[in-house]
Amino acid sequence: MDMMKVLTRLAGAFGPSGYENEVSQVIEELAQPYVDEISRDALGNLICHRKGTGPRVMFSAHMDSIGLVATHIDEKGFVRVGALGGMTPRAVLHTPVRFRSGVCGTVCAAVGADMEKLTASDLFIDVGASDEEEARKLVQVGDAAVFNTPVRQAAGRVIAPCLDDRIACLVLLMAMERPAGTDNDLYFVFSVQEEVGCRGAKTAAWSIEPDYGIAVDVTAVDDVPGSKHLFSSVLGGGAAVKVMDASVICQPELVDKLMALGVEKGIPVQRDVLRSGGTDAGPIQATRSGVYTGGISIPCRYIHSPAEMADLNDVRACVELAAAFACCKLER
């Protein structure tokens, strides 16, 4: 699987929270040769199952990205918006965006808006319309938009929109390519609506009832100027094994297992601690009577911006660690 080619397809697919179908179709096409069956649940989670007689292992990477949703179209044709998921308004100013229809625009702020206290209510999308009538032919209230920025390489790193969490979807797809070599009953879940409350992983975990759950997601980093040391991971440090965040405290035994696999297989690993934020690990762990839950994270700079950055060697390390865990001996 060509890493950059697949990532470019995934990052370019339209898929803000609640509108993940285009991403789902790309993933289904790519996953088909490597699993026994593929299904979707009522929420839209894509569940790829490689059958086994051993413990049920659920990997989860979310398909949705943050976005903007049209809430009002004014008489001059400007589209007022709200946020889909967590967004820092200043980080998206003057960013090109694209609606599902293909209509493009740019994100702007109202004249006189306080840049220090900017909220989504101060933002609008200029789609080039001359008045309300023309704008309504292009955009309807309730239409969602995503960042329309390119995928680029910078040295051994990639800069792109929607790395959160399309790069984790890539990790699971590449891990699927590895020879099975295990009795574990493997479920690769590509979940929906993570950015608005980890909704998809909750229902998927309930139906699968896994023995083990591994959330694969990006994680914030501690390696940029002015860092306040709220996070522990760094770009280039390898796969980040989640210890905790605001949604989960991973079972120490599972943290140790993932770290030991890294050492055993020669995979660079580091520990991932976040003082805030969360992933699919939270709802997976609390499903039914509880699930042994951990996380494999890809360190990422500038999360929830139009130009997120990740290290390709970290991505490869996450692929190897996910594949190693999928194939290791696990107890029920």
Residue 194 a catalytic site member: yes
For the chain, strand residue ranges (E) read 37-40, 46-50, 56-62, 67-73, 79-84, 96-99, 104-109, 123-126, 144-147, 152-154, 157-160, 185-191, 212-219, 239-244, 269-273, 292-301, 308-311
> Nearest 5 degrees, angle CA 120-CA 68-CA 297?
100
Could you give the CA distance from residue 58 to residue 190 in angstroms, rounded to a whole number? 10
112's tokens:
């006189």
Radius of gyration over alpha carbons of the chain, in Å?
20
CATH label, 67-147, candidates 2.40.50.140, 3.20.20.70, 2.40.110.10, 2.40.30.40: 2.40.30.40
Select which of 29, 37, 194, 331 is catalytic.
Answer: 194
| 221 DSSP assignment | B
Residues near 60 by beta carbon (within 8 Å), at least 6 away in sequence: 189, 190, 191, 201, 204, 205, 213, 214, 215, 216, 280, 284
Q: Which residues contact 96 (CB under 8 A, 6 or more apart)?
A: 104, 105, 106, 147, 148, 149, 306
- Could you tell me where the beta strands, DSSP code E, fall in 251-290? 269-273
Per-domain boundaries in the chain: 3-65+161-327, 67-147
Class of domain 3-65+161-327 as given by CATH: alpha beta
Report residue 280 as tokens. 């699919």
Kindly give the confidence (pLDDT) of every residue in the chain, 332 residues in length, as a single tens digit, with 9 standing for 90 and above: 899 999 999 999 999 999 999 999 999 999 999 999 999 999 999 999 999 999 999 999 999 999 999 999 999 999 999 999 998 898 899 999 999 999 999 999 988 888 888 888 899 999 999 999 999 999 999 999 999 999 999 999 999 999 999 999 999 999 999 877 889 999 999 999 999 999 999 999 999 999 999 999 999 999 899 888 889 899 999 999 999 999 999 999 999 999 999 999 999 999 999 998 899 999 999 999 999 999 999 999 999 999 999 999 999 999 999 999 999 988 86
Rounded to 10 degrees, what is the CA torsion of 306, 300, 173, 101? Answer: -10
Query: Same fold for the domain at 3-65+161-327 and the one at 67-147?
Result: no
